[in-house]
Amino acid sequence: MYGRTRSRRKPDGGVRTEPLPQQDWQVLIPDAHEGYITWAQYEANLQRLRENAWAYGADRHRGPPREGPALLQGLVLCGRCGARMTVHYYVRSDGTKVPTYRCLTHRVFHGRPPCQSIHSKAVDEAIGNLLVEVLTPLDLEVALAVGDEIERRSEELDRLRRQHVERARYEAELAERRYRQVDPNHRLVADALEADWNDALRRLTEAREVYERERKADLEGTDEAQKQEILALATDFPRLWRDPRTPQREKKRLARLIIENVTLIKGGAIEAHIRFKGGATRSLALPLPRSAADLRRADPAVRERIDRMLDDYAEDEIAERLNQEGLRTGAGLPFTLERVREFRCRHGIKSRYQRLRDRGLWTVAELAAHLGITPSAVLNRHARGTLSGYRCDGRGQLLFERPKNDEASTQTSRRRKRKQSIRVQSTSGGAV
Ligand SMILES: [Zn+2]
């Protein structure tokens, strides 16, 4: 096949021949010979093969649905460069997976940072709501659009079956030509070719019958089942969509039945242009979700509050009080001991332990050594309420006020006082 390959001389003197892509062929005459399928069909087949290949092809704008939380996986186009956006996950410190739609064209092909990267959560929610809204008043229209998709699918089947008929017809015509071209003097050959021709005609008739039969069955069978599905979809959609038991995989399937694609552009807000199967379009503008940095940059009032409260309260008590006031973390979560601690560390707020130590408070060991008793004796006294300490964290670590004068001497003086009072009592008793 001249012109469909390129030869190169290798360094060792040998020749390497490599095939060229079709657009680089020197000669290409479509439809020069009759084929089983038309040139257009051949090209369509190639296109289908390319689409089915699961890879990061630049020419792929739709991908098959896969497991994963991102609703629009495989349906999102980048509004900046037109490429398909893929789903990426990053895992937060608490283990939750955060899906994002990302356009990596710039990175893959030019080594630059991603074109754009958009959190999927807000987009998915907005589009879910839009589907619920759209499917109620416009259910008929959308159902029709879904019908188009089904029709397209059965058209594809139809095309495949028709190919069998076309092939049988081609063979019949070929057999006829062979028969007509034979010299009539060669009776035996002519008879054999005539028999071939008859066979081919019989096969053609059979192929046509099969085609008609299957086509009819296809139209009746699938139509009924799928009509039911469309009806169920149109009437039941909001319930189905909002039912927490509906698996994400099913939602993705539903979304793909209705949505052709979604173009996302991130600017001052996120613009989402939704194209439905029937060709109808809708546009949404969504506020930008707060970035991770924004989330960490929590309310300065909360920061100040925690800073002040640490003078008087342990972190678990602070969490409780902030929750009672209805305050939430930057990520909108209720406060816990851990979250208060994390918040404090991240904002460089001085710990309660350090504050109390700065105020001169003693640890259990220090106080025990000072009083000449064991640390557990100190804790026992604290438990009985005879020694008051300060809790400095959620684990119950305690710090104690330094004894006023000298605790040991106050104890002896107290003992002395007690003796005195006894003496006073007795003397007073004696006086009475
Ligand atoms: Zn892009």
Q: How far apart are the first and last CA of the chain?
A: 138
Distance 57 CA to ligand 1 centre (A): 14
**CA-CA-CA-CA torsion sign (131, 134, 137, 143):** negative
DSSP E strand stretches across 334-418: 362-363, 389-391, 398-400
Q: Which two tokens stand for residue 120?
A: 């999927």
Report yes or no: 252 and 240 within 8 Å, Cβ to Cβ.
Answer: no
Distance 96 CA to ligand 1 centre (A): 26
Distance 116 CA to ligand 1 centre (A): 6
Distance 263 CA to ligand 1 centre (A): 10
One digit per residue, the tens of pLDDT, for the chain of length 432 reads 677 787 878 888 888 887 777 777 777 777 777 777 788 788 777 776 765 554 444 444 455 555 677 889 888 988 888 888 888 887 777 777 778 898 877 666 666 677 888 888 889 989 988 888 777 645 555 555 655 666 666 677 677 778 888 888 998 999 999 888 888 788 888 888 889 999 999 989 988 888 888 777 666 555 556 556 656 666 677 777 887 777 788 788 878 877 888 999 888 788 999 888 767 788 888 887 665 555 555 567 788 888 999 988 888 889 888 888 887 777 677 888 888 888 888 788 888 888 988 888 888 888 889 889 988 888 888 888 888 888 887 777 888 888 765 544 445 444 444 444 444 444 443 333
As residues whose CB is below 5 A from the ion ligand 1, the structure lists 78, 80-81, 83, 103, 105, 115
Distance 56 CA to ligand 1 centre (A): 14
Distance 83 CA to ligand 1 centre (A): 6
Burial class (CB in 10 A: 0-12, 13-18, 19+), 76: buried
Distance 22 CA to ligand 1 centre (A): 28
Distance 129 CA to ligand 1 centre (A): 26
DSSP tag of 84: B
